Amino acid sequence: MTTVEAPASHLLENPFEIAQRQLQLVADVFGISDDLVKVLGQCKKALSVSIPTRMDDGSVEVFQGYRVTHNIARGPSKGGIRYHPDVTLDEVKALAMWMTWKCALMGIPFGGAKGGVICDPKRLSRSELERMTRRFTSEIINEIGPERDIPAPDVGTDASVMAWIFDTFSMNKGHSVLGVVTGKPIMIGGSLGREEATARGALYCIRQAVQKRGEQLDGMTAAVQGFGNVGLHLSRFLVEDGAKVIAASDSVGGIYNPDRIDVSAAIAHKQETGALAGLRGTEEITNEELLLLDVDLLAPCALEQVITGENADKVRAKIVCEGANGPLTPAADEILEDKGVLILPDVLANAGGVVVSYFEWVQGLQEYFWKEDEVNAKLNDITTRAFNETWVTRESKQTTMRFASYGLAVQRVAEATTTRGLYP
C-alpha cells in the first residue's frame, strides 16, 4: 500500500491568504464591519479524508481528498470537485470562498464549497478513477446532499465523475437523488446547456464589456489559455461571434497562427490526438508565451496564478477575461489596471457554470426539465444583469471590476449573515 503525496505546487502564493486579503480590501472600500470580516474570512467546515483505492494491478494507493464549505448564509453550499496533482487544502478553501462570492453576485441562493483530490486523473485508468471516486464519495457522503452541499465538475472531473457520485450517493440512500450533484449526463438528470455554460457566461460578459467600450467583437483577436471544457467552448463561441482566435493551448503547450486558428480543426485534432500540438497550419508556442501575445482579448482558462507580478507588465492584451479561478495574482491585478487593461474577474466571468448548475438542481428537484434555448436565455439574463450591476458599481465607487463584483457579493452575504444572526 502506498500513499500519494502532493508534489511541489504550481502556486506561487497561498491562494487562501490571497482570498482573505481580497476580502479585507473589499471590506475597506464598502464599509463592511470587522466582525463580519472575521466571520466571512474563515471557512465553516473543512473535511480531509483518506481514499484507499484498489488499482488495476491489485495494489492499493491511498489518495488524499478534501471537501470544504465556506458559507451557507444564503443557502446550501455549492462547488466543484477537482482532481489534480497540485490540489492543496488552502487552494480548496480559497476556491470555496470565491464560490460564495460568485453565487451571491449572480443572485443564486447558494453558499460556496469546493472539493479536491490529490491525483493525476490522466494517469489513472477509467476503472481506477471510478473506484477512487466512489470511495471518495463514501467518505464525504454525510456532508453532501441536495439540501446540504452540492458538488459539480471542475478541473480534472467531468459528467462521468458526477454520474459515479450520484449513483454512489443514491445507492446508499435507496433511491435516486437527482439534486445531489450537478453536471450529470443528460440521461440521468443533467441539464441541457450545462457543458457549455461556463464558456457561454464568459462570452456574455465579453459581449457586454466590448459594447461598453464602444467596440465590436467581430474582427477582434483573441488568445485562449486552456483547452478543456471552458477554453474549448469559449474559443468556438468567439469565432461564431466573428473574433479571430490566433492562439490556444492545453497543459502540454500551445499553437499559434497570426492570421487565425481553425478552431473546428483544433477541436477535432485535440479529440483525435489528445493534444493541440501538431495542428497543421500552426506553430508551437508555450503557455507562457501565449499570455504575452499582442491581442485584443486574453482568456486564461486553465489554472490559478498564471499571470503574476513577474510577467504582468509584459501582457499586451486590452481585455483579460478570467475563465479560470484566480489566474491573476493581486500584484498582477495592480499592474494591469495601471496599464488600463479591463479585467473581467472570475466571480463574474466564469459564473455561468454555477448558474446552470443551479438550473439543473432546480430541474432535478422538480423532475421537470427545460429546453436548451430556455436555459441559455435565462443564463444570459442573469449574467447580463450581474455584469451591469458590477459596471455601475465600478463607476460609482471609482474602483475596479474585481472590487466592484466582490463588493456586491460580499455585501449580500454580509447582509444575509446579519439578518440570520449568530446561533446561539
Q: Which of 176, 205, 240 is the last residue of a domain?
A: 176
Return the half-sphere exposure (C-beta side, CA atoms, 13 A cut-off) of residue 42: 7
Return the half-sphere exposure (C-beta side, CA atoms, 13 A cut-off) of residue 221: 16
Rounded CA-CA distance 139/142 in Å is: 8
- Does 157 lie in the same domain as 50? yes
Q: What is the DSSP string of 222-277?
A: EEEE--SHHHHHHHHHHHHTT-EEEEEE-SS-EEE-SS---HHHHHHHHHHHSSST
CB atoms within 10 A of CB 56: 11
Query: 363 lies in a domain?
Result: no
- Does 158 lie in the same domain as 51? yes
Smallest CA-to-CA distance from 12 within 347, 314, 315, 329 is with 329
Distance of CA 120 to the CA centre of its chain: 18
pLDDT at 329: 94
- pLDDT tens per residue, the chain (424 residues)? 666 555 556 677 899 999 999 999 999 999 999 999 999 999 999 999 999 999 999 999 999 999 999 999 999 999 999 999 999 999 999 999 999 999 999 999 999 999 999 999 999 999 999 999 999 999 999 999 999 999 999 999 999 999 999 999 999 999 999 999 999 999 999 999 999 999 999 999 999 999 999 999 999 999 999 999 999 999 999 999 999 999 999 988 999 999 999 999 999 999 999 999 999 999 999 999 999 999 999 999 998 899 999 999 999 999 999 999 999 999 999 999 999 999 999 999 999 999 999 999 999 999 999 999 999 999 999 999 999 999 999 999 999 999 999 999 999 999 999 999 999 8
Q: What are the cell numbers at 231?
A: 477554453
- Does 282 lie in the same domain as 154? no
Contact 306, 331 (CB under 8 A): no
Query: 350 lies in a domain?
Result: no
pLDDT at 285: 95
- Does 227 lie in the same domain as 127? no
Contact 66, 119 (CB under 8 A): no
Number of domains in the chain: 2
Instruction: Give the CATH number, domain containing residue 300.
Output: 3.40.50.720
Contact 113, 144 (CB under 8 A): no
pLDDT at 197: 96
pLDDT at 303: 85
pLDDT at 237: 97
pLDDT at 3: 67
Rounded CA-CA distance 384/15 in Å is: 28
- Does 339 lie in the same domain as 206? yes
Instruction: Give the CATH number, domain containing residue 61.
Output: 3.40.50.10860
Query: 267 lies in a domain?
Result: yes
Domain hosting residue 103, numbered range:
44-176
Rounded CA-CA distance 397/384 in Å is: 20
Q: Which of 314, 344, 374 is the last residue of a domain?
A: 344
CB neighbour list of residue 174: distance below 8 Å, 6 or more residues apart:
none
CA distances from 19 to 14, 16, 309, 327 (A): 9, 5, 17, 13
Smallest CA-to-CA distance from 40 within 88, 86, 98, 84 is with 98
Distance of CA 61 to the CA centre of its chain: 28
Q: Which of 344, 378, 411 is the last residue of a domain?
A: 344
Query: 159 lies in a domain?
Result: yes
Contact 402, 329 (CB under 8 A): no
Whole-model pTM? 0.94
- Does 297 lie in the same domain as 208? yes
pLDDT at 418: 96
- Does 171 lie in the same domain as 282? no
Indicate the residue type of 39: V
Helix (H) or strand (E) holding 211: helix 197-212
Query: 386 lies in a domain?
Result: no
Contact 325, 346 (CB under 8 A): yes
pLDDT at 8: 54
CA distances from 50 to 139, 215, 359 (A): 8, 52, 32
Give the angle subtended at the CA of 191 by the CAs of 109 and 369, to the nearest 5°.
Answer: 90
> Is 114 an active-site residue?
yes
Query: 364 lies in a domain?
Result: no
- Does 250 lie in the same domain as 152? no
- Does 232 lie in the same domain as 147? no
Query: 189 lies in a domain?
Result: no
Which is catalytic among the residues 93, 114, 244, 270? Answer: 114
Q: What are the cell numbers at 55?
A: 488499482
pLDDT at 12: 75
Q: What are the cell numbers at 234?
A: 469559449
pLDDT at 9: 62
Indicate the residue type of 334: E
Query: 244 lies in a domain?
Result: yes
pLDDT at 413: 98
Q: Which neighbouring-strand residues pair with 17?
A: none
- Does 232 lie in the same domain as 157? no
- Does 248 lie in the same domain as 154? no
